[in-house]
């Protein structure tokens, strides 16, 4: 059953069996634990897909966002820190200040898929640190101080700095992501576009 379910995720994409198995576990999720001292251990896993362009990373993200009932798909280039967490807006009619949740808050108890994760601004990327570990968003703006739930799994896709992955460099040198953020991902998959005749022939026949 586990193998059949994993293969049913993006069946049009050839191979990537381990990636599809991990995406199935991400969709199913785990159970969070509350320790005796009040410490909470999250049950959701975060996955990063890193590799060469054209290896179907974006297709996998879109497929996962469609499969989950509370899936949100966004891109790093078109998302700001406020757009991911929460924004304070003033109602034009009543002139009252309201709080509007961003992509991570809307994906509570679901999956937030962030494409082009490496293209995000550094200031916007820091907003994700708290969500990935504490699964909450703390807001202190315009007199509003509150904490919003963001119990979401994060599925991110990123490309190497130099266009293609350089095997002579370490993964950290290839990816424009800080080590503190990269360590918050439970699974990091390196997807390389290898020029092999047999694999390319099997892929074309798929």
Reported as a single tens digit per residue, the pLDDT across 150-160 is 888 888 888 88
- pLDDT exceeds 70 at position 8: yes
Mean pLDDT confidence for 114-135: 79
- pLDDT exceeds 70 at position 83: yes
- pLDDT exceeds 80 at position 110: yes
> Could you report the per-residue pLDDT of 38-76, keeping only the tens digit for each?
777 777 888 888 888 878 888 888 888 888 888 888 887
Q: Which residue has the higher pLDDT, 47 or 201?
A: 47
pLDDT at 206 (0 to 100): 63
Instruction: Determine what percent of the chain is predicted with pLDDT higher than 90.
Output: 0
Round to whole Å and give the CA distance between 176 and 122. 10
How far is residue 161 from each of residues 142, 158, 205, measured CA to CA in Å?
38, 9, 31
Q: Which of 24-28, 192-196, 200-204 has the lowest mean pLDDT?
A: 200-204
Relative to beta strand 97-101, strand 86-90 is antiparallel
- pLDDT exceeds 70 at position 137: yes
Mean pLDDT, all residues of the chain: 80
pLDDT at 81 (0 to 100): 66
Mean pLDDT confidence for 3-7: 82
Candidates 13, 15, 113; CA nearest to 56 is 13
pLDDT-derived band of residue 84, with 50, 70 and 90 as boundaries? confident
pLDDT at 91 (0 to 100): 78
Mean pLDDT confidence for 20-36: 81
Give yes or no for a contact between 131 and 156, defined as CB atoms under 8 angstroms apart.
no
Q: What is the CB neighbour count within 10 angstroms for residue 114?
A: 24
Highest mean pLDDT, choosing among 87-96, 140-149, 181-190? 181-190
pLDDT at 200 (0 to 100): 66
Mean pLDDT confidence for 162-172: 79
């Amino acid at each position: 059953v586990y193998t059949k379910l994993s293969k049913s995720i993006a069946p049009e994409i050839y191979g990537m069996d381990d990636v599809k198995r991990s995406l199935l576990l991400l969709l199913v999720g785990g159970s969070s634990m509350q320790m005796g001292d009040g410490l909470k251990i999250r049950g959701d896993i975060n996955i990063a897909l890193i590799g060469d362009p054209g290896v179907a990373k974006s297709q996998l993200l879109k497929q996962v966002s469609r499969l989950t009932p509370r899936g949100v798909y966004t891109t790093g280039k078109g998302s700001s820190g406020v757009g991911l967490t929460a924004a304070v807006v003033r109602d034009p009619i009543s002139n009252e200040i309201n709080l509007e949740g961003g992509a991570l808050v809307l994906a509570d108890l679901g999956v937030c898929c962030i494409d082009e994760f490496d293209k995000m601004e550094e200031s916007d990327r820091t907003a994700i640190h708290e969500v990935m570990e504490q699964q909450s968003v703390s807001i202190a703006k315009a007199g509003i101080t509150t904490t919003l739930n963001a119990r979401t799994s994060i599925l991110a896709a990123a490309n190497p700095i130099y266009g293609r992955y350089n095997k002579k460099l370490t993964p950290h040198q290839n990816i424009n992501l800080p080590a503190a953020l990269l360590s918050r991902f439970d699974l990091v998959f390196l997807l390389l576009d290898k020029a092999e005749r047999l694999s390319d022939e099997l892929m074309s026949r798929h």
